[in-house]
Structure 1
Amino acid sequence: MPTELAQQLLLKTLLPLSLLIAAGGIWPRWQSGISIVGLRGEINRLVLNFFAPMLFFAAGAAASVDLGLLQVPLLLGAATLFGLGLAALALFATPLGHGLSRPTRGAIMLASGFGNVLFFGYPFLSTVFGEPGARYPFFADMLATTPLLWSLGVWIAFRCGRHEEHASFLAMWLRLPPVWGFAAGLAVNLSGLSLAPLIEAARWAGSPTIPLMLFVLGLTIPWHDLRPQKAVFVALAIKLALMPLLALGLALAWPGKLSEPAQAGILEAAMPTMVMVIALADRFGLDTRLAGLIMGWSTLAGLATLPFWLVVVKGVAS
């Protein structure tokens, strides 16, 4: 990795990410009497219903869309399915899952397969690839992670959890405001209309999305209970090692040179566990504590493994 890129990655990405996550962890101790669950819920609703749709609209409207871009969601989608399948195999067909309840197995599966492709991916890939890299996380999220999370992910949570939900997967997905924001942005993009001031205003309005969700990530990590367990190591091995390894293998099997979108797809597959896993665990009665534990360890470990995978990807591409 070039020295200049390493410095930018440290100062522009990893340091701000770490500070925002740490702020979320410190805030409840500093502000005594605060309800972590209530604060987390209000921030999540604010981001989901306003800030994120604005940011997704701006990303969809301004992105340069081409067929090569589809490598990002295709590689990420394949890696996600692989991670979920491998976790299911380990938990239901080997001694690793013996003695574990279905809510615990469901939490491990979701934490092993779904990564923080937007809130980690956006600052990371923007630093690595410059302004063009900002489009990759949005297409990865909208065309791979979000559809899989709200279909297969919800199905796993529904089958493994203890709840009284009656899930309609398609209805839940179509009710997500960021989905409509992204669709509207793509419509503007493909229409050829010159709406640069509106796009810039939406980008500015949506800019708090990433910092707020990283703050929520810090709120969610169980800092007082970060004790490693066997389940944590299984999830980390799948999420941070085997998933990007599969994505790398698929990318190398793709005809031609390792393209920039393919590199982005590999790095997206290496992202740590996403925050939304906790929301699904809460909603469907999975093991929320274990899901938070895996998310915490994967986030901390991801600060080291992501630069490693970047070195690997850049070495293969050169």
Structure 2
Amino acid sequence: MSPDLAQQLLLKTLLPLALLIAAGGIWPRWQSGISIVGLRGEINRLVLNFFAPMLFFAAGAAATVDLSLLQVPLILGLATLAGLGLAALALYATPLGRGLSRPARGTIMLTAGFGNVLFFGYPLLTTVFGEPGARYPFFADMLAATPLAWSIGVWIAFRCGKHTEHASFLSMWLRLPPVWGFAAGLAVNLSGLPLTPLIEAARWAGSPTIPLMLFVLGLTIPWHDLRPQKAVYVSLTIKLALMPLLALGIALALPGKLTEPAEAGVLEAAMPTMVMVIALADRFGLDTRLAGLIMGWSTLAGLVTLPFWLVVVKGLAS
């Protein structure tokens, strides 16, 4: 990694990420009496129903679609499945899972397998690869992370949680507004219609998505109770070390040289824990406190491990 890229990564990506997350953590102290859960829920609904669909529409409409682009969701999807499998193996076939409740085990599997591929991935990959890198996190999210989270992820939460829900992956997935925004964007992209002003307007309207969700991440992390424990070590080892290592192996096994989309796929696999895990934990009765704890440590550790994996990927690609 060149000194110029390292400086851009620090100033354009890691510093803004850290400031937004820190703002979310500090805000409740400034605004005493507010409900963190209520505020988090309202922001999530606003992003899910308006800002994110706009951003996904713009990304789908402006992306250059080619077969090599599919390497990103392929690598991320396989690495995610491997991460979930490793977590299940560690929790059910080794002493690491001894004494843990079913909700805690479900939480560990979800936090170990699903990464923040959009809200961390977008600023990181646009810094590393420039404007063309903006398409990678959206395709990774729509074709790998979101389908897996709302199928296998929901199944894990359903089986391990304490709830009265009856999960239906297809109906839930099809009701997600970002899915329709992304589909509409791809339709515009493939149609060839001259809708550049509309696409730019949608991108501008959707621009608050990433800052708001990073702010929500800061709200979610239990800053007053960041004591590491066994569950944290299990999840972090799989999510931040083994998953990107497996993704790198998959990328290197693909025919030809290590391509830019393959690099992006490895970096997406190295992202810290997905914010959506908290929503799944709330909805299906998993251990929300443990989810927040792991998410906090994963985010803090990810600020260190992500540059490491970037150096590794760039070193192998050069």
Does TM-score exceed 0.5, indicating one fold? yes
For residue 248 of structure 1, what is the aligned residue in structure 2? 248
How far 1:108 sits from its partner (Å)? 0.3
* CA distance in 1: counterparts of 2:155 and 2:8, whole angstroms: 40
Paired position in structure 1 for 2:127: 127
Shift of 1:220: 0.2
Instruction: Give 1:150-169 correspondences, 5 Å limit.
Output: 150-169=150-169
- In 1: Cα distance, 2:312 partner to 2:280 partner: 33
Match in the other structure for 1:282: 282
SS at match of 2:272: coil
How many angstroms apart in 2 are the aligned matches of 1:111 and 1:176?
21
Equivalent position of 1:74 in the other structure: 74
Residue aligning to 1:19: 19
TM-score by length of 1: 1.00
Find the aligned partners of 1:17 and 1:251 in 2 and give their Cα distance: 27
Aligned length: 318
Equivalent residue number for residue 115 of structure 2: 115
Report deviation, 1:169: 1.0
Structure 1 stretches of 4+ with a deviation exceeding 4 A read none
**What amino acid is the match of 2:284?**
F
Q: Please report the RMSD computed on the Cα atoms of aligned residues, expressed in angstroms.
A: 0.4
**One-letter identity of the residue aligned with 1:47:** V
Aligned to 1:315: 315
The offset of 1:21, in angstroms, is: 0.2
Q: Does 1:145 align with 2:142?
A: no
Q: Counterpart of 1:122 in structure 2: which amino acid?
A: Y
2:233 matched to which residue of 1?
233
**Residue 204 of structure 1: aligned partner:** 204
Structure 2 residue identity aligned to 1:297: W
Gap runs ≥5 in structure 2: none
Shift of 1:137: 0.2
Unaligned runs of 5+ in 1: none
* Alpha-carbon shift at residue 102 of structure 1 (Å): 0.4
Counterpart CA distance in 2 for 1:61 and 1:239 is 31
The letter of the residue matching 1:30 is W
- Give 2:53's aligned residue: 53
Shift of 1:264: 0.1
Deviation per residue, 1:206-231 (Å, 9 max, x gap): 00000000000000000001000011
Partner of 1:175: 175
With structure 2 as the length reference, what TM-score do the two structures score? 1.00
Q: Give 3-state SS (helix, strand or coil) of 2:194's partner.
A: coil
Identity of aligned residues (%): 89
- CA drift of 1:168 comes to 1.0
What amino acid maps onto 2:147 in structure 1? P
What CA deviation, in whole Å up to 9, does each residue of 1:178-218 have, x standing for no partner?
Answer: 00000000000001111000000000000000000000000
Rounded to whole Å, the distance in 1 between the matches of 2:234 and 2:242 is 11
Which residue of the partner structure matches residue 257 of structure 1? 257
